[in-house]
Homo-oligomer: A and B are copies of this chain.
Amino acid sequence: MPNPSLLILPGDGIGPEVMTEVRKVIDWFGANKNVTFDVAEDLVGGAAYDEHGVPLHDDTMAMAQKVDAVLLGAVGGPKYDDLDFSVKPERGLLRLRKEMDLFANLRPAQCFDALADFSSLKKDVVSGLDIMIVRELTSGIYFGEPRGIQDDNEGGRVGVNTQRYTTEEIRRVARAAFELARKRGNRVCSMEKANVMESGILWREEVQWVHDHEYQDVELSHMYADAGAMQLVRWPKQFDVIVTDNLFGDLLSDAAAMLTGSLGMLPSASLGKPMENGRPKALYEPVHGSAPDIAGTGKANPIACILSFAMALRYSFDMQDHADLVEGAVEAVLAQGIRTADLLGEDGKSPVSTSEMGDAIIAAMGGS
């Protein structure tokens, strides 16, 4: 079997810095676990625009389609604010998502015990929290037609967007959620507004269909999305995997991320259909942005990007033990009180640099 292949796109702002630390982790696996990745690196976002005049070169796009997984740092920055919409840095990321057809956005909300104090929620409500929100990412109201703003006949205007889901769009993201649940707590909660939206009724029925025909071993429940928002705030640990549409997932995954109190720590994955080798099309990236204000200062926290690589180990390469090893090392380092600047409160401790954090995680992984 060929080596697993990775395309690394560091992007803009702190992207290259945090990706340098990921490279250390990748190299560690080569040196210690005999797991060698074929790694290619290329440009995305503003960095690609500076070089090619577009935020994603066609060659990069073609490479992304060929590799087993893409790992992206972050895109964007004030330098590119005035660019035309069509070549803004974010368009590079959107092109990747669209052409790779990454329909399942995995957003874990995990709270490390050592950081539970950062949450606005009580410690017992969030410590040990480990839930996964699966958001449909390529359809729904952000994409549906007709859409637009038109003049009415009375001097006013009308704004229209269309929520539209097909059987197959719902079933495929439901399958992604059930597959995930089997590797976790074996429970899926599906959220919609079937009480007031027909697209929600279809969502509920199709998720139930997939369950009844293909995943009867997984526990499935349904919840209205507004009740879901409430329950996420009240007692988030009741959930294992949540599957929901693009719009509800947008709000609920961000609310869930904020429950953990340390947004800068969270990874994400976007998965598509299985390729010929059985691995899904996959893009991994931290939830945080490019943080241009601290780029180049050594203040960036590389943990979210390192955890994104751990997700790649888990979901693209089926290397559960290796993923556990990386995540365990992050947890151990945090438990030791090692902190980048973003994780320090008022207590006067001095922060470690981006690179020192990477080294500490490598050290916690053991080996040479």
Interface residues of A, Cβ cutoff 8 Å to B = 119-122, 125, 141-142, 144, 147-149, 152, 156-168, 193, 196-203, 206, 225-227, 229-235, 247-248, 250-252, 254-255, 257-259, 263
Which residues does chain B contribute within 8 Å of A203, judged by CB atoms? 159
Interface CB pairs A-B, < 8 A, 30: A120-B122, A120-B125, A120-B233, A120-B235, A121-B121, A141-B163, A141-B197, A144-B160, A147-B198, A149-B198, A149-B202, A152-B166, A156-B168, A158-B165, A158-B202, A159-B163, A159-B198, A159-B199, A159-B201, A159-B202, A160-B163, A161-B197, A161-B198, A162-B163, A163-B163, A229-B254, A229-B255, A230-B257, A233-B255, A233-B259
The answer for the CA separation of A168 and B250 in the assembled complex, in Å, is: 28
Q: Which of A147, A229, A248 is the most central at the interface, judged by chain B CB atoms within 10 Å of its CB?
A: A229
Which residues does chain B contribute within 8 Å of A166, judged by CB atoms? 152, 156-159
Copies of this chain, count:
2
Tell me which of B122, B168, B233 contacts A258 (CB under 8 A).
Answer: B233
Which residues does chain B contribute within 8 Å of A250, judged by CB atoms? 193, 225-226
The answer for the CA separation of A157 and B167 in the assembled complex, in Å, is: 5
The answer for the CA separation of A53 and B162 in the assembled complex, in Å, is: 37
Which residues does chain B contribute within 8 Å of A263, judged by CB atoms? 230
Which residues does chain B contribute within 8 Å of A226, judged by CB atoms? 250-251, 254
List 7 tightest A-B contacts by C-beta distance, closest first: A159-B202, A156-B167, A159-B199, A229-B255, A230-B258, A233-B258, A226-B254
Further pairs besides A141-B163, A142-B196, A248-B251: 7, Cβ < 8 Å: A142-B193, A147-B197, A147-B198, A157-B202, A225-B250, A234-B258, A255-B255
The answer for the CA separation of A165 and B196 in the assembled complex, in Å, is: 17
Which residues does chain B contribute within 8 Å of A251, judged by CB atoms? 225-226, 229, 248, 251-252
Q: Tell me the smallest distance from the CB of A38 to a CB of chain B, in Å.
A: 35
Which residues does chain B contribute within 8 Å of A120, judged by CB atoms? 121-122, 125, 233-235
Which residues does chain B contribute within 8 Å of A168, judged by CB atoms? 156
Tell me which of B158, B201, B230, B248 contacts A255 (CB under 8 A).
Answer: B230
Instruction: Name the CB-closest residue of B to A233.
Output: B258
Which residues does chain B contribute within 8 Å of A149, judged by CB atoms? 198-199, 201-202
Q: Tell me the smallest distance from the CB of A308 to a CB of chain B, in Å.
A: 20
